[in-house]
Every structure is written in C-alpha cells, then in structure tokens.
C-alpha cells in the first residue's frame, strides 16, 4: 500500500500533535511532517484536501503502514502495539489503567474544553477565563491523582503515555497564564520530562512550521 | 485488597457510565451499582465523599481488583486486558487502531463538548444549538469514517469498544433532537446494537436509579 516514511500531519502549536511527536521521537521512528496551519487561510484543516483525509478537520493525523489514523491516543496505542520498544505502557494492567486514566483525563477532560475551536464559540473577553477554568478544574483533580501514581514521572519511574499528554497540556496552561502554585507535583514532573531529548526535539519551538520569531 | 463484586459509581443517564455498563454486561461481570445523581442536591458528584473517590467529580468510576479506575475508556481497556472474553478489541492492530480512533472521536471529540457541566456554562437559550452543533460536527465525520470501517457494527462484524461509545452518544443526540437524516450508517449500526441483550440491560431506562416515569 504505502512505502517510505510515515507522514505526520501536524501543527507546531497543537498540543495533540505534540503528544504524537513525543511518541515518535521516543520510539526513534523517522517521519515526515506535513504542516497544517490551523490559523492561516482561515484554517488549513478546513481545506477540501485535508477534510478528505480527516473528516474531523483536526491534527494530528498519521499515515503509516498503509493506513491513516486520527486521534492522538489511538495513534500512540497503535505505535505501542506495532513498535513496542521502548514501551509507553507499563506491563502491569493496574498501572496501565492508571496511565490510561490520566491520559484520558487530559485528552477528554481538559484539552477539548480549551482548544481553539471551542474558544472561538465563546465571547472573546471570556475566552481566557474559560480556558483557565477548564485547565484548573482538570489540574486540581490531576494533582491529587498523581499523589498516588507518580514516581519520577506520572506513573512510576518510567515515561508513559500519560507523560506524553501532560507536558503539552502544561504548555497550554502556561499560554493561558494558569497559576501553578497549587500544582507542585505537575510542575515537578513536567520539568523532569522537559529535560529529556524526545520532549525537546518534539517541542513546538523546534518544528518545521514554527515561525522564526517563536523558534528556540 | 478488596473482596466481593466490583462497584460501579454510575448515573442512569450518563452516556459515559452507559459505555462501561455495556462492557460489564458483554463480559458477564456481576457488579453492584452505586448511583450518583448528577442533578439532585446540586449534584451528588460534588459531595466530599465522592470527590475523595474521584477528584474529577465525574461518573463512571469503577472499584475492581483492589483499585479504583476513572474514565470510561481506561476502565474498558482494563476490563479487556484482565477479562479478555468476549473481546472488545479486534486482534489486528490496524483494526484496533480504527476502534480506538472512533472511540476517541466520540469520547474526546463529541461528548465533552455537550455534557451537562459545559452546557451549564453557556447561555440557556443557546444550550440546545450548542449541543446539536457539537454532535453534528462529530457525526458528520463519523458517518464518513464508518463508510470505510463498518460491517455489521462500527468496525467489521464484531461488537467492539467503538460500539460501546456509539450507542450512548446516539441516545444523547436523540435527547438533543438531532436530525438523523444525514446519518444512515450511524442509525443502522445503532439499531442493530440496540437489539443486543447487553445494550438492553445496560440501557438508561433500566437502571437501579432510573426514575419510575422513565422506566421501560
């Protein structure tokens, strides 16, 4: 069906795209990036070509092994099943449950409520408060849950899928000027993760489509 | 750690709880229901006791095997890993990716945008339109995706986790008076699934906490 490198449709600032970029980096999978600018031209995700590829009009989308996968966690689980090393889910089913619980808390309990397409639907002067409320409400719960699951990282001492969700969500929180005082555990884990190479090369400030003024 | 039956904290009308109830029914797992009324007393999920159990203040939560799991998909994946028969994920990794993609589309791309806690944040007269837009936007994509994945059910001819997400979401769509004319595939699969016993015993109209006037 398909030869050559996997293709990731990505936007440098999309937190959902970043999750997948970290997974690809950790697993050492070479890939090509096709940038989809969510703002330019009224949003390139709304183009006919992109809609034909992903009817949800969202990034990330990954073409790999002759198939096209949407939704960041579905992509990461597929990579985990087909390229198991290094693993992003622990072996113990109970720990796997913790990883998926934290991942889902972020990907369905926080991110969808503060993403661009939702913020565009609320009055401009309330957008910042709306996003902050969505994030702090989720982070209040997450901080408490991490007390019982975390070691060096979100679940124990190995990097897992939960960490791939945490770091991009923290970056969103920083953009929305969330006060991190109540979240010492989240902050500490985030700092540790950002020191790892896979989180650095996948960072929004180092993507092919990162505007020059935001590069680092 | 824990003896006896698993305990499901559930609300009869919660679509996320219904997903888990279907999984428990399909796998033949006996359990006790502890109802959490999301409306009564200003929302029982906000009680101190429940917050100590689930800091996200959401149902479902499942106590099983000595652990407590939140987030419906994390619960279903745990059940799948520890009670694999009958399976809710296909064996082929590519088909598993389709199942997870559809599940995530619904659980992070549709449901969070039309749930009670979000609707309470928008003006009352716009709530119905808001919910309808969230659902139709997701269903437009889903109808198209199902063209290439569906057999009798969402992915091929076996009931999968994707179907456990579909039926409760369709029920929400019906409550919000969504026009189903553009969704023949969704409608057809939903009808087939509702004929199955596991979808019937888990139905919101047949739960311990279903009010008498809504029972069937």
- B58 chain-A contacts, CB cut-off 8 A: 109
Listed in order, the ranges of chain B carrying CATH 1.20.1050.10 are 93-199
Distance, in angstroms, between B77 CA and closest chain A CA?
Answer: 7
pLDDT band of residue A211 (cuts 50, 70, 90) is very high
Regions of chain B short of the pLDDT cut 70: 1-3
- CATH 3.40.30.10 in chain B, residues? 7-86
DSSP per residue, B148-193: HHBSSSSSBTS--HHHHHHHHHHHHHHHTT---TT-HHHHHHHHHH
- Residue pLDDT, tens place only, A151-178: 999 999 999 999 999 999 999 999 999 9
Say yes or no: A114 contacts chain B, CB-CB below 8 A.
Answer: no
In chain A, which residue's Cα lies nearest the Cα of B110? A112
Q: Which CATH architecture has domain A7-86?
A: 3-Layer(aba) Sandwich (3.40)
- Partners of B54 on chain A (C-beta within 8 Å) are 141
What's the pLDDT at A42? 87
Contact assignment for B103 to A74 by CB distance below 8 Å: yes
pLDDT surpassing 80 at residue A1: no
pLDDT of residue B1: 45
Of B25 and A118, which is predicted with more confidence? B25
Please check whether residue B105 touches A, CB under 8 A.
Answer: yes
Q: Report chain A's mean pLDDT, rounded to a whole number.
A: 96
- Asked if B70 has any chain A CB less than 8 Å from its own CB, the reply is yes
- How many residues in chain A? 216
Nearest-CA distance A155 → chain B (Å): 14
At A122, list the tokens.
Answer: 């609320």
**Cβ–Cβ < 8 Å for B42, B117:** no
Does the CB of A129 have a partner CB in chain B at under 8 Å? no
Task: Please classify residue B67 by burial: count the beta carbons closer than 10 Å to its beta carbon, then call 0-12 exposed, 13-18 middle and 19+ buried.
Answer: middle
The whole-angstrom separation of Cα B102 and Cα B89 is 12
**pLDDT tops 80 at residue A106:** yes
Asked if A103's CB is within 8 angstroms of B74's CB, the reply is yes
A77-80 LR contacts (CB < 8 Å, sep 24+): A77/A161, A77/B96, A77/B97, A77/B100, A78/B93, A78/B94, A78/B96, A78/B97, A78/B100, A79/A23, A79/A24, A79/A27, A79/A29, A80/A23, A80/A161
Token pair recorded at residue B27: 């796998």
Which chain B residues are within 8 Å of A77, Cβ to Cβ?
96-97, 100
A167 lies within 8 A of chain B by CB: no
Task: Provide the pLDDT for residue A3.
Answer: 63
The helix/strand count (H/E) of chain A reads as 10, 4
Q: So what CATH class is B93-199? A: mainly alpha
**Residue carrying structure tokens 């919660």:** B14
Q: Which residues of B touch A103 (CB under 8 A)?
A: 74
Q: Give the residue-averaged pLDDT of A197-203.
A: 98
Residue B85 in tokens? 């028969």
- The confidence score (pLDDT) of residue A184 equals 98
Q: Which of A56, A73, A122 sits opposite B100 (nearest CB)?
A: A73
B207 contacts chain A (CB < 8 A): no
The shortest C-alpha distance from A65 to chain B (Å) reads: 9
CB distance from A80 to chain B under 8 Å? Answer: no
Contact B97 A104 (CB under 8 A): no
Name which of A1, A67, A92, A104 to mutate to probe chain B: the one with the most chain B Cβ atoms within 10 A of its Cβ.
A104
Reference B45, options B18, B85, B16, B10; nearest CA is B10
d(CA B67, CA A165): 22
């Amino acid at each position: 069906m398909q030869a050559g490198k996997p293709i990731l449709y990505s936007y440098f600032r999309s937190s959902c795209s970043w999750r997948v970029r970290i997974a690809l980096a950790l697993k050492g999978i070479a890939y090509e990036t096709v940038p989809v600018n969510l703002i330019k031209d009224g949003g390139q995700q709304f183009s006919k070509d992109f809609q034909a590829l992903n009817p949800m009009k969202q990034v990330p989308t990954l073409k790999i092994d002759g198939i096209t996968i949407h939704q960041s966690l579905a992509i990461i689980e597929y990579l985990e099943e087909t390229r198991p090393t290094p693993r992003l889910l622990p072996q113990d089913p109970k720990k796997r449950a913790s990883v998926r619980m934290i991942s889902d808390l972020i990907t369905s309990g926080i991110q969808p409520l503060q993403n661009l397409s939702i913020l565009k639907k609320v009055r401009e002067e309330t957008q910042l408060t709306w996003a902050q409320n969505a994030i702090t409400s989720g982070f209040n719960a997450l901080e408490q849950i991490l007390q019982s699951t975390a070691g060096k990282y979100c679940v124990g001492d190995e990097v897992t899928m939960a960490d791939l969700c945490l770091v991009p969500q923290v970056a969103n929180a920083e953009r929305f000027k969330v006060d991190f005082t109540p979240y010492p555990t989240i902050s500490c884990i985030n700092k540790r993760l950002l020191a790892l190479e896979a989180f650095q090369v996948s960072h929004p400030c180092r993507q092919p489509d990162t505007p020059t003024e935001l590069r680092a």
